[in-house]
Structure formats: C-alpha cells, structure tokens
C-alpha cells in the first residue's frame, strides 16, 4: 500500500459505509481495496483475512466491532472511507464515522430489504445533511428480488427520491451483470421500458438544474454521461435523489459501477467552498491556509500509543507541527500524520480538506474536539450519541486495584461516548453502562488487554426513592447524661408532600432553637432524607417546617441538634404514609413488523404502558413507559428474539409509586440485608 499524496482536493471523496449487520459492508471495502490495487490479495471476512475486520475479536465474531478508516485510489481520485459496524451495540463507532465523512453509502442486504441498521444509517445521514447512495448487495443469493427491494425503498422514501442507477440482469444464481441506466446500450427487451422510464426521470432532474442543458435536451439532443452526472450533483447533494446501485460483492458484480458513481456523484470536500455545521452555522473552507479538523475518534494503539483520528475540513496540517485545541484552549504538538488502512499506518507529510487520518502524540485532545493550526477558528461539534441502555455494577476483581480500574475505564470512556462510568450517588455503586452486553464486554476486554485489570459485574441496584402521601408530625428529644458534658436538643417539625422537591422552612420564633443551631438542624434534615425509613432510599418531594424545639445552655451542641432533627424527620415520615417510588424509563423500540406482537406483549409483561405505535422507515416503532427494574435484561432479550433485527433507545422519564406487592418485596429485602 502506498499513495501519491499530492492529490488535488477536487479529486477527493470521503464517505462512510453504513447499514445493518451482515449486509456486506466489510466485504465491499475489501473488494474496493483489491479492485483499486491498494492491496494485491482480496481480503475476506470469513477467512479472517479482511483488511478492515483485523482485530482478534472481529475475526472471531466474523463481524465488525470497530469503525475502520480505509483509503484507495479510483480513476485518479483518492477515496477515504470508513467501514462501520452494523450491530446496534457499536453505534458509537458508527456515529463517530458519520462525523468523519461528507457522504454516505448505505449497504442493504438484498435478501432482507430495509432493516433497522439501514434505517439508522439513513437517519444519521439526514441529521448531518449528507448525500447518500444505496447499494443493494447479495443479489447473487436465492430469494432476492431487486425490484421488490426497490419498491420497498420507494414506498418508504418516495418514488421521486429513490432512483436506480444500475439494475440487475438475472436473479439469484442467474445474476450475471448490471446495466447502467444512463450508459448501457444492450438492455434486455423486458427491461427496456423500466430503464427508459428511470432514464427520463434522471434526465428531467438534470434538465431542471441547468437551463442550457434543458434546451439541448428538449430539442432532442443526447447528453453525455459527464454532463448528466454533473447535472445530478445538486440533487444528490441536497438529498432530493438517492441513487441506488445493484450488485453482488461475492460475485464482483456492480461494484465498479458503484465506485464510478462514487467518483462522479459524491461531493468532493471543497465543492461548495462552505460547510454547514450541525447547528446550521456555515463556515468557509479553504484548500490551503489554516488547518481545521474535527477529532472523531481516538484509539489507544498498543504500538503507537494515543492515535487521534481527525477529519480535515479546511486547510492543511503538517506532521511535526503545532496545533491548537480550540475546544480546550490548549496548545499541543502533532507527532506523525498517518493514513490508516485497517492495521496499516502510512506516514505522510501533509494532509488537506477531506482527509481522514490519524495524528500521534496529542495528549489532551479527545473525541469531539476541534483542532486548528491557528489559535482561533470555529468550534466544530459531533452529533449527539444515544444514552446507554444497559448498566452493570462493577468491582475490581483484585482488592487494591480500584484506582487502576478507575483510571483504565476513565481512558476507555474518553474514547467512547456511548460508554458511561459513574458512581451512583444514591446507591453508592460504581456503574458501567453502555449500549448492550456485547458493547460492555468488548470494552472490558480492552480494559484487560490495555490496562491489565479485570472487574466483576453484577446487576446494579435500582435507585428507588421514598416520599410521603400525607401530612405528619415528628417531635424528638435527644438527651444523654454521661459524666461531664451531657447532650441535649429537642426538635418539633411538621411535614407535608411537596411536588416542588425538598424544602425546609424555619418557623422558629422566640429562640426556642437558638439561631446558631439552625444550620445543624438543617444538616440533620438533609442527612435524614439521604436514607429514608422504608428501604434506606433517598427521599424526595417533601416540605419540612421546623416550628419548635428546646435547648440547654450547657448541654446543647450542633451534634445533638443534628441527631434530634434527623430522628424527628424519620418519626414524622413513618406516620405520613410513606411510599416507595421507582424510576420509569421511556423506551422506543424499532423492529420489523413481524416482531411487533412479541415486543408489545413483552413490554406489557414488564408492567410497561404502551404510549403509541408508529411506522418509521418501513419499520414498526413502539413507545412505552416501563419501570427501570424490568429493563435490566431487555437489550439481550430483544436481540435474541428478533435475531438482532430490533433496536431500542431508553431515557429516564420520571419516578412513580411502586405497586404495593412489589414495594413489600423491596422493603423486606432491605430489612433482611
């Protein structure tokens, strides 16, 4: 692998390859590398020789886990592309890759048609306003029918949007070639009508984009392929058409046409001289001058150390040079600039707009940061990552390694925005959460490989809470007479439910509790609500009015008032009909229609309340409110009963009363402990 690096920016295309797991994305990448001459042996996922799926975990799983930057040259153009994992659990890698790319190639499995992974890819592309192509792969397989996949796409996205650029001749084992809508001459008679209809549709778009072309077209003149492609650019760029290519990676059919399409129809990085950012702000981009780049990924390479992957948006970067991190305000030094091809790294001296590459030696620069060769410039932002959907309580396997574990996981979290690591304030547990069991286990494997520590996992405690449903009173006298100084304090208080949260009102008049002890009383109350009387949970939505008390000139102390206040509040709570509350999460599940019944049934069984059902991208979507305690294993269950064809999102919604039979169990478990 070696590259001529002085590529004209107009000859660069960068894109992300995304779609459902098993569609053939990685196989397509390997084939593109081979056809372009970037490698001289065709890598294969199944034979563990893929350039892109090169890690031991990916080889074992025969499926992608990490996003991999790749490059090749095709008809004088330099292609930078990202192979992404289709598995929903590794969506963090996929989202990062979208941030690295100016175009999207969605790979659809011709056997299955639209799946959750392709719908997600389309939505990410739309959020970033990226032009998109669709490649319908695996048309050599039995039971594939390109026209039904095409009509499914047209039904969902619009028949004026989804337009084939190539179509298959023959099906399954008889699939022999593709014809090009704009170019092919030898079109089988039975396809002629359809092909000419699509050609007209494309030519109409071309004619609309350019008046002169329109005149020539209307006067019956033939337009060349270059003219037609140029005329389609704006429509592809704005997403008003999504070109569809047909093919088979396995049989190497249709891939050349796809690669030509990428060069002819995808946007070069500088095509508009402007770049629209996530927040609709526009920035000017230049071919030279100050380098501006977004950090979309960072990896800990066992040999190179910290590798920071950047997408250059404007200007140039040089190896061994200074850069400013505009997000943190710090100044750093770049070591090498590396072009990445799976596990291969090729040092280069300089990169410009459109490049996807890695830089070494940055110490304080992380995913989502903007780096610039000048100290001022626009700050760029990544699109948001989804909230974790699965959590474990973790503990260091070996006593004494807690600090090492925390540091190691801290580094992993820095590199993976879908991995969260917190100490839960209410339960006191250390929680590692992520997008599913596979995601968490693969992160822990990294922890073991890179930082040589291991942790044990357990189901996290549910952060129940307590509140009251009636008004109540508490009077407590704390008194101890033991030799020298005694202890004395008395606190009288009233409590009532308060939707506004926790509130303390001081109604003391006439100094029955002296002013200097009031802070101690408040401290005692705050301590009391950290651990309620039912199950030791945090207490919420309560108003406490302290209205009376007694003190002793010698024996009263801050400690005594703290204890008296705490005990008075617990006494009051016990006679104010306390109840247990549980966290309710909002869940959005997306599945192919055939699994809808299983999903709604399963959610009902989990005490879920179905809020609505809709269709998005041809898939069924159910939204429901479900108690968090019932969702512990949902990621794994959903994967198993949909065979990986369902995804879900989850976010905290609110707290609600736990039904009495369940509350009793939680309370008696607490008392036992």
Ligand X SMILES: Nc1nc2c(ncn2[C@@H]2O[C@H](COP(=O)(O)OP(=O)(O)OP(=O)(O)O)[C@@H](O)[C@H]2O)c(=O)[nH]1
- Residue 248: which of ligand X, Mg ion, none does it interact with, CB under 5 to 8 A by kind? ligand X
**CA dihedral sign of residues 17, 23, 27, 32:** negative
Which lies closer to ligand X via its Cβ, residue 137 or residue 557?
A: 137
DSSP per-residue letters across 324-367: EETTT--EEE---EEEEETTEEEEESEE-TT-EEEEE--SS--T
- Residue 257: which of Mg ion, ligand X, none does it interact with, CB under 5 to 8 A by kind? none
Cα–Cα distance between 9 and 4 in angstroms, integer? 13
Q: Is 46 in the site for ligand X (CB under 6 A)?
A: yes
Cα–Cα distance between 255 and 259 in angstroms, integer? 6
- Name the nearest CA neighbour of 100 among 298, 365, 337: 298
Cα–Cα distance between 120 and 451 in angstroms, integer? 33
Cα–Cα distance between 623 and 20 in angstroms, integer? 22
Size of the site for Mg ion (CB under 5 A): 3
- Contact residue for ligand X among 12, 15, 16, 21 (CB under 6 A): 21
Contact between 549 and 491 under an 8 Å Cβ cutoff? The reply is: yes
Which lies closer to ligand X via its Cβ, residue 86 or residue 377?
A: 86
Q: Is 85 in the site for ligand X (CB under 6 A)?
A: yes
CB of 636 to ligand X, least distance (A): 18
Cα–Cα distance between 235 and 241 in angstroms, integer? 6
CB of 642 to ligand X, least distance (A): 15
- Contact residue for ligand X among 43, 86, 88, 524 (CB under 6 A): 86
Q: Which of residues 24-63 bind Mg ion (CB under 5 A)?
A: 25-26
Phi, psi (deg, nearest 5) at residue 60: -65, -40
CB of 591 to ligand X, least distance (A): 18
Q: Which residues contact 361 (CB under 8 A, 6 or more apart)?
A: 305, 306, 332, 333, 334, 335, 336
- Residue 23: which of ligand X, Mg ion, none does it interact with, CB under 5 to 8 A by kind? ligand X
Cα–Cα distance between 16 and 130 in angstroms, integer? 10
CB of 62 to ligand X, least distance (A): 6
Cα–Cα distance between 440 and 393 in angstroms, integer? 12
CB of 436 to Mg ion, least distance (A): 17
CB of 388 to ligand X, least distance (A): 21
Q: Which stretch binds Mg ion (CB under 5 A): 64-72, 310-318, 588-596, 600-608?
A: 64-72
Which lies closer to ligand X via its Cβ, residue 27 or residue 336?
A: 27
Q: Is 22 in the site for ligand X (CB under 6 A)?
A: yes
CB of 115 to ligand X, least distance (A): 11
Tokens of 369: 């940061």
CB of 45 to Mg ion, least distance (A): 7
Q: Which stretch binds Mg ion (CB under 5 A): 17-25, 272-280, 344-352, 402-410?
A: 17-25
SS3 at position 633? coil
- Contact residue for ligand X among 13, 14, 15, 23 (CB under 6 A): 23
Q: Is 64 in the site for Mg ion (CB under 5 A)?
A: yes
SS3 at position 658? coil
Q: Is 25 in the site for ligand X (CB under 6 A)?
A: yes
CB of 253 to ligand X, least distance (A): 8
Which lies closer to Mg ion via its Cβ, residue 25 or residue 645?
A: 25
- Residue 460: which of ligand X, Mg ion, none does it interact with, CB under 5 to 8 A by kind? none
Cα–Cα distance between 35 and 68 in angstroms, integer? 18
C-alpha angle with apex 316: 314 to 322, nearest 5 degrees? 115
Cα–Cα distance between 349 and 195 in angstroms, integer? 47
CB of 27 to ligand X, least distance (A): 3
Q: Is 138 in the site for ligand X (CB under 6 A)?
A: yes
Q: Which stretch binds Mg ion (CB under 5 A): 19-27, 343-351, 524-532, 598-606?
A: 19-27
Which lies closer to ligand X via its Cβ, residue 134 or residue 546?
A: 134
Q: Helix, strand, coil % (nearest 5) of the chain?
A: 30, 30, 35
Q: Is 112 in the site for ligand X (CB under 6 A)?
A: no
SS3 at position 158? coil
**CA distances in angstroms from 545 to 471, 504, 622, listed in the order given:** 11, 6, 45
Which lies closer to ligand X via its Cβ, residue 110 or residue 463?
A: 110
Q: Which stretch binds ligand X (CB under 6 A): 93-101, 246-254, 358-366, 498-506?
A: 246-254
Q: Which stretch binds ligand X (CB under 6 A): 67-75, 81-89, 549-557, 630-638?
A: 81-89
Cα–Cα distance between 306 and 309 in angstroms, integer? 10
- Give the Cβ contact number of residue 395 at 10 Å: 15
Which lies closer to Mg ion via its Cβ, residue 327 or residue 442?
A: 442
Give the binding site for Mg ion (CB under 5 A).
25-26, 64
- Name the site residues for ligand X (rule: CB under 6 A): 21-27, 45-46, 63-64, 85-87, 107, 137-138, 140-141, 248-250
């Amino acid at each position: 692998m070696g590259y001529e690096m002085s590529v004209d920016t107009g000859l660069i295309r960068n894109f992300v390859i995304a779609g459902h797991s098993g569609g053939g994305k990685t196989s397509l990448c390997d084939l593109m590398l081979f056809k372009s001459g970037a490698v001289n042996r065709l890598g294969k996922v199944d034979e563990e020789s893929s350039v892109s799926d090169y890690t031991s975990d990916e080889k074992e799983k025969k499926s992608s886990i990490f996003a991999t930057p790749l490059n090749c040259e095709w008809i004088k153009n330099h292609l930078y592309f990202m192979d992404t994992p289709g598995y929903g659990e590794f969506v963090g890698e996929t989202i990062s890759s979208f941030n690295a790319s100016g175009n999207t190639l969605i790979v659809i499995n011709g056997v299955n048609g639209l799946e959750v992974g392709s719908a997600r890819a389309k939505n990410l592309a739309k959020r970033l306003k990226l032009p998109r192509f669709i490649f319908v792969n695996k048309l050599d397989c039995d039971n594939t029918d390109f026209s039904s996949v095409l009509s499914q796409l047209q039904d969902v996205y619009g028949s004026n949007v989804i337009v084939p650029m190539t179509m298959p001749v023959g099906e399954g084992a008889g699939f022999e070639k593709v014809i090009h809508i704009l170019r092919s001459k030898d079109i089988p008679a039975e396809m002629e009508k359809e092909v000419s209809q699509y050609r007209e549709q494309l030519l109409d778009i071309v004619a609309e984009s350019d008046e002169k072309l329109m005149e020539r077209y209307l006067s019956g003149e033939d337009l060349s392929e270059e003219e037609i492609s140029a005329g389609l650019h704006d429509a592809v760029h704005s997403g008003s058409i999504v070109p569809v290519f047909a093919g088979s990676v396995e049989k190497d059919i249709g891939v050349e046409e796809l690669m030509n399409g990428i060069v002819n129809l995808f946007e070069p990085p500088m095509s508009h001289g402007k770049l629209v950012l996530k927040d609709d702000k526009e920035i000017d981009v230049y071919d030279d001058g100050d380098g501006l780049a977004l950090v979309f990924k960072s990896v800990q390479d066992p040999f190179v150390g910290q590798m920071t992957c950047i997408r250059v948006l404007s200007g140039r970067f040089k190896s061994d040079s200074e850069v400013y991190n505009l997000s943190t305000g710090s100044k750093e030094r770049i070591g090498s600039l590396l072009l990445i091809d799976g596990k291969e790294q090729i040092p280069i001296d300089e990169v410009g707009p459109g490049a996807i590459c890695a830089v070494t030696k940055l110490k304080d620069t992380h995913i989502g940061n903007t780096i610039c060769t000048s100290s001022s410039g626009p700050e760029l932002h990544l699109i948001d990552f989804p909230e974790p959907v699965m959590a474990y309580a973790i503990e260091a396997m070996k006593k004494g390694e807690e600090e090492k574990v925390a540091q190691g996981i801290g580094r992993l979290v820095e590199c993976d925005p879908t991995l969260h690591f917190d100490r839960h304030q209410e339960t006191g547990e250390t929680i590692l959460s992520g997008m599913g069991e596979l995601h968490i286990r693969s992160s822990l494997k990294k922890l073991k490989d890179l930082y040589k520590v291991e942790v044990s996992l357990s189901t996290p405690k549910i952060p129940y809470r307590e509140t009251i449903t009636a008004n109540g009173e508490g009077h407590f006298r704390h008194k101890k007479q033991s030799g020298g100084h005694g202890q004395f304090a008395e606190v009288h208080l009233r409590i009532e439910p308060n939707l506004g949260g926790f509130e303390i009102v001081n109604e003391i008049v006439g100094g029955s509790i002296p002013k200097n002890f009031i802070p101690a009383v408040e401290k005692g109350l705050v301590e009391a609500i950290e651990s309620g009387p039912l199950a030791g949970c945090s207490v919420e939505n309560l108003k406490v009015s302290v209205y009376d008390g007694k003190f002793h000139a010698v024996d009263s102390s801050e400690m005594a008032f703290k204890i008296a206040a705490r005990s008075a509040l617990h006494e009051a709570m016990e006679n104010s009909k306390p109840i247990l509350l549980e966290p309710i999460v909002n869940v959005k599940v997306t599945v192919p229609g055939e699994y809808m019944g299983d999903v709604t049934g399963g959610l009902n069984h989990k005490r879920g309340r179905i809020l609505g059902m809709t269709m998005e991208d041809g898939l069924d979507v159910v939204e429901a409110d479900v108690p968090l305690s019932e969702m512990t294993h949902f990621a794994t269950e959903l994967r198993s009963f949909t065979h990986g064809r369902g995804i879900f999102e989850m976010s905290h919604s609110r707290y609600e009363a736990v039904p009495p039979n369940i509350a009793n169990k939680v309370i008696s478990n607490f008392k036992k402990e």
